[in-house]
Structure 1
Amino acid sequence: MVEPGTIQAAQSGDREALITLLREIETHVYRTAYYILNNEQDAMDAAQEALIRIYTKINSYEEKAQFKTWVQRIVTNICIDKFRRTKPTVSIDEHELVFREKQDVEDQVMASYTYQDIRHAIDQLPEHHRTVVVLRYLQDFSYNEIADSLDLPLNTVKSYLFRARQQLQALLHEYQKGGVRG
Structure 2
Amino acid sequence: MVAPDLIKAAQSGDRDALITLLREIENDVYRTAFYILNNEQDALDIAQEALIRIYTKINSYEEKAQFKTWVQRIVTNLCIDKFRKNKPTVSIEQFDMSFTEEKTVEQEVMSAYVAEDIREAIDKLPEHHRSVVVLRYLQDFSYNEIAESLDLPINTVKSYLFRARQQLQTLLQDYKKPSIESTRR
**What is the TM-score when the length of structure 1 is the normalising length?**
0.92
Q: Percent same amino acid at aligned positions? A: 78
| Cα pair distance change 1:69/1:5, threshold 3 Å | same
Gaps of at least 5 residues in structure 2 are 179-185
Q: Distance in 1 between matches of 2:103 and 2:168?
A: 27
Relative to structure 1, the CA distance from residue 101 to residue 77 in structure 2 (aligned partners, 3 Å threshold; closer, same or farther) is: same
Distance change in 2, residues 1:92/1:33 (3 Å): closer
- Residues 97-153 of structure 1 show CA distances to partners (whole Å, capped at 9, x for unaligned) of 657672111000000010011011111100000000000000000000000111100
Match of 2:73 in 1: 73
- 2:140 partner SS: coil
Which residue identity is paired with 2:81? Answer: D
| Contact persistence 2:121–2:168 (CA under 8 A) | yes
How do 1:1-182 residues align onto structure 2 when only pairs under 5 Å count? 1-89=1-89, 93=93, 102-176=102-176
Give the whole-Å Cα distance in 2 for the aligned partners of 1:150 and 1:66: 13
Equivalent position amino acid for 1:75 in 2: V
Q: How many residues align?
A: 178
Conservation of the 8 A alpha-carbon contact between 1:96 and 1:112:
no
For the Cα contact (< 8 Å) 2:147–2:153, is it kept in 1?
Answer: yes
Aligned Cα root-mean-square deviation (Å): 1.8
8 Å contact kept, 2:35–2:91: no
| TM-score, normalised with respect to structure 2 | 0.90
